[in-house]
């Protein structure tokens, strides 16, 4: 027997009991519930219910389609709501190709940006099925559920629009795997913290300008990282060991870093840092933030003075990728469920290896290689890429008595 559908849409001022009243009315008719969507924005309700029935009209106990319409319209009138009905002949929705999540971040987010992004989605032959706000400060973030698009094509198109509109856009496949990212591996310098630690040390050694120049060459990928590290560390020879304590006090976390780590640890994620910097400084971050795994270089100290050499294997670009793989094994987590976050060329291998690679305020070569880029100065914006809304973060913090700025 032919299956038909009827879409009932109620809209107007929200009030308690609307959903209950509507379904109570529908229960008197020989229909089944096929789909429901409801949203409330600033006290305005939109409730859509898709029902299915056999034959031309839902006859039987409760009467005809006309009787159903009359009953629904009367109920809507009682509730002060507007109602629309539309019919269809295909109960089975066509399976849509390319279910995707498109995350849009802006500070501020202008209407032109949303117009450009939605226009690109439409031009790709895709449809926006749902829009949900994840944050309204310090950045504005919306997540769009999109169907009917090829992810690679749409990602390329939206990257162009994001650059033109000066917003961040991430495109990810929908499904269980998106919710399964369970290990976060993050670079330290200019990512977790707002400085390059070797430059902080160099400032105390009186060689900041020369070290900064070599650092910039390495971050742009113009110089082998291991060689650049040796050259920079050599300039620190003779620096006193107690300088480490002074530099520890100078470390400033990137805004949102504590919120990011705290929230993901609360959700039972594992958190790791990998650094081309030095254990004498990263160990303090591990202890302060409760980080699970870490890898960094170690400066050689003899008789209280830096020798200008590094002890052991250097944590460089391939070393960071190896560390990510090692942490995943120790945590019992597949690589596909890892997230790598970095800003420089020496982060490229781990970003490529991870299930999701994120460029955070990164150099152009990293932004081009990563799955997505975040260019707002708030590290906790990464939570939105994982589908975690700010309201839930704040509610959990309040429940735990955490005071946030």
The 10s digit of each residue's pLDDT in 120-173 is 999 999 999 888 899 998 999 999 999 988 888 999 999 999 999 999 999 988
Name the catalytic one among 14, 187, 347, 380. 187
Structure confidence by residue, pLDDT tens digits, 281-335: 999 999 999 999 999 999 999 999 999 999 998 999 999 999 999 999 999 999 9
d(CA 13, CA 45): 6
User: Which residue has better confidence, 23 or 56?
Assistant: 23
Q: Which of 168, 189, 343, 371 is labelled catalytic?
A: 189
Tell me phi and psi for residue 173, to 5 degrees.
-65, 145
What is the DSSP track for 52-91?
EEESSS--STT--HHHHHHHHHHHHHHHT-EEEEEEES--
Q: Give 93's pLDDT tier (boundaries 50, 70, 90).
A: very low
Instruction: State the fold for domain 3-88.
Output: Alpha-Beta Plaits (3.30.70)
Q: What is the pLDDT of residue 194?
A: 95
| 56 carries an active-site annotation | no
Query: Active-site residue 292, yes or no?
Result: no
Task: Verify cis geometry, omega within 30 degrees of 0, for the bond prior to 108.
Answer: yes
Just give the CATH number of 100-174.
Answer: 3.30.70.260
d(CA 108, CA 87): 40
- Taking CA atoms, 270 is separated from 94, 97, 180, 309, 400, in Å, by 39, 33, 12, 32, 20
Q: Candidates 3.40.50.1000, 3.30.360.10, 3.40.640.10, 3.40.50.300; correct CATH number of 183-400?
A: 3.40.50.1000
Six-digit token string for 224: 């082998």
Domain extent listing, the chain? 3-88, 100-174, 183-400
Phi, psi at 4, each rounded to 5°: -125, 160
Mean pLDDT, rounded, for 359-382: 92
Phi, psi of 198, deg, nearest 5: -65, -30
Tell me which H or E stretch contains 255: none
Token pair in block for residue 325 = 């793989």
DSSP class of 137: S
CA distances from 320 to 185, 193, 232, 317, 340 (A): 9, 17, 19, 5, 10
Q: Which residue has the higher pLDDT, 55 or 286?
A: 286
Length of the chain as a residue count:
405
**Which pLDDT value is given to residue 99?**
84
Written as one string, the DSSP assignment of 203-248 is HHHT-HHHHHHHHHHHHTTSS-HHHHHHHHHHTTTT-BTTHHHHHH
pTM reported for the whole predicted model: 0.80
**HSE of 345, CA atoms in CB hemisphere, 13 A:** 14
* Alpha-carbon gap, residue 69 to 26, rounded angstroms: 10
Q: How confident is the model at residue 252 (pLDDT cuts 50, 70, 90)?
A: very high
Q: In sequence order, what are the residues at sequence separation of 6 or more whose Cβ sits closer than 8 angstroms to the Cβ of residue 158?
A: 102, 117, 120, 121, 169, 171
**pLDDT at residue number 18:** 92
Residue 42 is encoded by which pair of tokens? 């600033």
Do domains 3-88 and 183-400 share one topology? The answer is no
* Triad 123, 125, 129: Cα angle to 5°: 105
Q: What is the largest distance, in Å, between two alpha-carbon atoms of the chain?
A: 94
């Amino acid at each position: 027997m032919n299956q038909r559908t009827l879409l009932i849409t109620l809209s107007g001022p929200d009030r308690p009991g609307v959903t209950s009243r509507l379904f109570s009315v529908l229960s008197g008719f020989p229909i089944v519930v096929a789909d429901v969507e409801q949203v409330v924005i600033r006290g305005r309700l939109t409730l859509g219910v898709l029902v299915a029935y056999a034959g031309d009209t839902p006859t039987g106990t409760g009467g005809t389609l006309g009787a159903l319409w009359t009953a629904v319209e009367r109920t809507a009138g009682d509730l002060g709501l507007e109602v629309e009905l539309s019919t269809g002949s295909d109960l089975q929705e066509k399976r849509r190709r390319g279910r995707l999540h498109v995350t849009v971040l802006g500070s501020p987010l202008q209407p032109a940006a949303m117009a450009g992004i939605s226009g690109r989605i439409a031009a790709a032959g895709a449809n926006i099925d749902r829009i949900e706000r994840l944050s309204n400060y310090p950045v504005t973030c919306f997540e769009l559920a999109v169907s009917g698009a090829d992810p690679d094509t749409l990602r390329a198109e939206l990257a162009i629009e994001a650059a033109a509109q000066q917003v961040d856009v991430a495109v990810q496949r929908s499904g269980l795997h998106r919710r399964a990212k369970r290990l976060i591996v993050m670079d330290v310098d200019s990512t977790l913290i707002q400085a390059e630690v070797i430059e902080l040390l160099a400032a105390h050694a009186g060689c900041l300008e020369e070290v900064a120049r070599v650092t910039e060459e390495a971050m742009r990928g113009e110089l082998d990282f291991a060689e650049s590290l040796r050259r920079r560390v050599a300039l620190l020879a003779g620096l006193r060991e107690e300088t480490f304590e002074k530099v520890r006090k100078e470390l400033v976390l990137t805004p949102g870093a504590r919120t990011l780590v705290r929230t993901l640890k609360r959700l039972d994620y594992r958190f790791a840092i990998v650094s081309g910097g030095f254990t004498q400084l990263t160990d303090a971050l591990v202890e302060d933030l409760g980080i699970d795994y870490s890898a960094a270089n170690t400066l050689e100290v003899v008789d209280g003075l830096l020798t200008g050499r590094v002890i052991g294997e250097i944590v460089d670009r391939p070393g960071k990728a190896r560390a990510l793989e090692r942490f995943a094994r120790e945590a019992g987590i597949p690589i596909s469920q890892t997230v790598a976050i970095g800003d420089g060329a020496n982060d490229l291998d781990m970003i490529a290896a991870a299930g999701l690679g994120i460029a955070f305020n990164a150099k152009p070569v990293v932004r081009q290689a990563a799955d997505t880029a975040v260019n707002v100065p708030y590290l906790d914006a990464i939570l939105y890429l994982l589908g975690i809304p700010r309201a839930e973060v704040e509610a959990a913090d309040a429940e735990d008595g955490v005071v946030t700025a």
